[in-house]
């Protein structure tokens, strides 16, 4: 069976992610705005796997900048996991390509995407992240495959050149603007 081809036209959004997952997952696609067991709560989208249903959240900037939102996310994830559900959170600063598609969703597809991973000129930059959001960003960045993490770090250096260090990175990460490795991202 041939892997499906998925074209992402423009920057990744929740809607484009759902469309790509629907196309690649076929019968494994559960849909969008899926209800979970436990407290009344819906998730952005879901897939069937051999282990059960996996819920997927596309996390935009507020999931990094608002401590209250982050606390709610953690509690909702804890409850979902207590009920046996796995949660995948896909950050807004990543794009979808063949590697991220396989790594995050365990789906095989040939993904065509012209927008690189990282922070576009009009994105919310890590300088605006709250402490919990910054820690999450660093943890996620350090866990990425090297080519993906390098692309994100490269985008940050480009934004620093355009807007200045203080507007793009918090002071605790200023050293990153002078290095090439996302592994050098350390929190505080």
Residue 101 contacts residue 91 (beta carbons within 8 Å): no
User: Whole domain around residue 142: which residue ranges?
Assistant: 5-180
Residue 186 resides in a domain:
no
Which tens digits make up the pLDDT trace of 134-153? 999 999 999 999 999 999 99
Residue 188 resides in a domain:
no
Which tens digits make up the pLDDT trace of 89-129? 999 999 999 999 889 998 888 899 899 999 999 999 999 99
How many domains does the chain divide into?
Answer: 1
Q: How far apart are CA 39 and CA 97, in angstroms?
A: 34
Which tens digits make up the pLDDT trace of 23-73? 999 898 887 776 666 554 667 788 888 888 888 999 999 999 999 999 999
> What is the structure's pLDDT at 61?
98
Residue 123 resides in a domain:
yes
Residue 94 resides in a domain:
yes
Greatest Cα pair distance in the chain = 50
Residue 106 resides in a domain:
yes
pLDDT band at 163 (very low <50, low <70, confident <90, very high): very high
Global pTM reads 0.87
Nearest-CA neighbor of 95 among 77, 131, 128, 119?
119
Backbone angles phi, psi at 35, to 5 degrees: -80, 145
């Amino acid at each position: 069976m041939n892997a499906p081809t998925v074209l992402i036209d423009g920057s990744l959004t929740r809607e484009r992610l759902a469309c790509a997952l629907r196309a690649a997952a076929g019968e494994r696609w559960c849909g969008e705005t899926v209800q979970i067991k436990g407290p009344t709560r819906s998730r952005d989208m879901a897939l069937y796997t051999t282990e059960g249903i996996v819920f997927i959240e596309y996390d935009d900037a507020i999931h990094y900048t608002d401590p209250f939102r982050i606390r709610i996310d953690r509690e909702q994830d804890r409850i979902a996991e207590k009920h046996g559900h796995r949660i995948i959170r896909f950050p807004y600063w990543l794009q979808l390509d063949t590697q991220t598609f396989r790594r995050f969703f365990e789906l095989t597809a040939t993904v065509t995407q012209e927008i690189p991973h990282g922070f576009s000129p009009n994105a919310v930059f890590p300088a605006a992240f709250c402490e919990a959001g910054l820690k999450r960003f660093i943890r996620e960045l350090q866990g990425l495959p090297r080519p993906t993490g390098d692309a994100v770090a490269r985008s940050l250096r480009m934004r620093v050149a355009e807007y200045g260090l203080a507007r793009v990175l918090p002071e605790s990460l200023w050293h990153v603007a002078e290095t090439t490795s996302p592994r050098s991202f350390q929190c505080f």
